[in-house]
Amino acid sequence: MTSILWFRRDLRLSDNRALAAACAAGPVVPVFIRDARVDALGAAAKWRLEVGLEKLAAALEQRGSRLILRAGPALEVLDGLVAETGARAVHWHRLYDPQAIDRDKKIKTALKAKDVSAESHPGHLLNEPWTVETGSGSFYKVYTPFWKAVRDRDPGASLSEPGQIAAPERWPDREALSDWQLSRAMRRGRDIVAGHHAPGEAAAQDRLAGFVEAGLERYGEGRNDVAGDGTSRLSDYLALGELSPRQAWEAARRRVEEGSKGAEGFLRQLIWRDFAYHLMYHTPHLLSDNWRDGWDEFGWQTDPGSDDVLAWKQGRTGVDFVDAAMREMYVTGRMHNRTRMIVASYLTKHMLVHWKVGLDWFADCLTDWDPANNAMGWQWVAGSGPDAAPYFRVFNPDTQAEKFDPDGVYRRRWLAEGQASPPRTALQFFEAVPERWGLAPDDPRPAPIVSLAEGRTRALAAYERLKSGQ
Ligand SMILES: Cc1cc2nc3c(=O)[nH]c(=O)nc-3n(C[C@H](O)[C@H](O)[C@H](O)COP(=O)(O)OP(=O)(O)OC[C@H]3O[C@@H](n4cnc5c(N)ncnc54)[C@H](O)[C@@H]3O)c2cc1C
């Protein structure tokens, strides 16, 4: 029996339960569909998807298979492929955001009505969101009890990749990836960002193996060293599914059993990802609205094009640690977790700008963009989210820099202005940004948009007004 395998955010052949199920039944037609949801991705995420698809297509070819690319509404595309190939089943891995759930439910119903079986498989998470319940049968709103509820669960052994994948008698037509121009929106930054990435499943496996071997043991101490290489840097791979969370869990879990302390800290971070999905699934408004009641009156500024917001986006707030981090993201598509928290705190607290403005900019710039992690991260920092940082905790970027970048290595790496011979990384920012921004490495550093003391006082006053209902 021929089956269609619908790739979405699972661009891998190993530990791919949808692929295993399709292969077990006979010939497989792998497809990736560029539907409206793909078109809605941010510029960096689209570029990252493009290079991920190139790698996936090459890996499929090596196994006697092929990646069929089609653009259009997903159901129309799948209907067409079913008619062309005679497939009797469609397999995919589940996604958990409300739009994907809605789309997939409709597709399942429509395919079943035509007697085509539609099978959704777990694989994007370690724990399906509905399988983790509090004692009273509700969902978790706080991380630590969630962690305790799942840390001893065994997600099972990951699956190895198939050798050859049986091909259908006739391959359906496919569109060309280059015609899709997924990286068009990156404009001149594309090649610079590409230099900081090694996309694809094979690179993901190498990175995991290298990290487990050399980085995992000191993850606990190293994970806040913003200039170091102390974290796994697996987030792109996990976001696009080039690596399954189960593969990462399995590798680190083995080290925990061998007595590694750092490994447990890493497992906790993987569970933060599951927690974000748990929250998004049970409270989908996490993505779009203040998660906590009462925050709609906060009075944040919402203009994404204001001069101050533009300065934040361009790394020109005048606060070195904030600006360095914003440029790291522009040049690499990634940002260290510590500095994600700092730039988010600066925007939502010192500048009093709505977290959604920051969330949207991250969605446009991050190659590891993930709907649940991004929304939870922003709402956590802003104070409006689940298990949130208390509002009165306003990160002071200067104190944070003294602690986490004591020698200024990170700031010098990303800020060219004021340096006689700026490093290549700092100069790359000026090559990557649009010319209309009119920025040059020998510009003077701007004065802070708002002084750290004044920003903090203003933020706390705004919070007091919210609490007292004024
Ligand atoms: C404002 C804000 C926005 C964020 N946006 C995203 C995003 O769009 N995509 C994204 O993947 N992460 C996001 N994060 C979470 C975190 O910053 C990144 O996952 C992490 O920096 C990725 O680096 P790493 O792979 O080296 O992480 P490691 O420290 O090695 O952690 C391993 C994996 O655990 C998961 N993880 C780690 N920290 C978190 C966390 N706080 N929340 C959820 N999962 C986590 C990630 O999948 C990560 O790859 C955001 C955090 C904040 C504060």
Q: What is the DSSP letter of 417?
A: T
Which tokens belong to 283?
């409270």
Q: Name the residue of 269, 278, 349, 369 to mutate for ligand 1: max ligand atoms within 8 A of Cβ.
A: 269
Instruction: Give 256's contacts (C-beta < 8 A, 6+ positions apart).
Output: 263, 264, 267
Query: What pLDDT score does 392 carry?
Result: 82
With the C-alpha atoms ordered 426, 432, 434, 435, is the resulting torsion angle positive or negative? positive
b/e for 200-237, b at 16 or more Cβ within 10 A? bbbbbbebbeebbeebbbbbbebbbbbbbebbbbbbbb
Fold that domain 125-156+190-282 belongs to in CATH: 1.25.40
CA distance 149 to 134: 8
For the CA of 211, the nearest atom of ligand 1: 30
In the block, residue with structure tokens 């929250």 = 279
For the CA of 380, the nearest atom of ligand 1: 53
3-class secondary-structure state, position 93: strand
Which residue ranges of the chain lie beneath pLDDT 50? none
CA distance 295 to 62: 53
Residues 216, 266 contacting (CB under 8 angstroms): yes
Q: Is 236 in the pocket of ligand 1 (CB under 6 A)?
A: no
- For ligand 1, atom 48, name the residue with the nearest CA: 235
Residues 80, 180 contacting (CB under 8 angstroms): no
Query: What pLDDT score does 391 carry?
Result: 79
Q: What are the binding residues for FAD?
A: 219, 231-235, 266, 368-370
Q: Name the residue of 337, 376, 384 to mutate for ligand 1: max ligand atoms within 8 A of Cβ.
A: 337
3-class secondary-structure state, position 142: coil
Say whether the ipTM exceeds 0.95: yes
Q: Is 339 in the pocket of ligand 1 (CB under 6 A)?
A: no
The domain spans of the chain are 1-123, 125-156+190-282, 295-468
Fold that domain 1-123 belongs to in CATH: Rossmann fold (3.40.50)
**295-468, superfamily in CATH?**
DNA Cyclobutane Dipyrimidine Photolyase, subunit A, domain 3 (1.10.579.10)
Q: How far is the CA of 337 from the centre of ligand 1 (A)?
A: 6
Which tokens belong to 123?
């694989």
Q: Is 239 in the pocket of ligand 1 (CB under 6 A)?
A: yes
Q: How far is the CA of 59 from the centre of ligand 1 (A)?
A: 27
- Give the chain's length: 470
CA distance 16 to 375: 27
Q: Is 272 in the pocket of ligand 1 (CB under 6 A)?
A: yes
Concatenating the DSSP letter of every residue in 194-257 gives HTT---SHHHHHHHHHHHHHHTSTTHHHHTT-TTTT-S---HHHHHHTSS-HHHHHHHHHHHHH
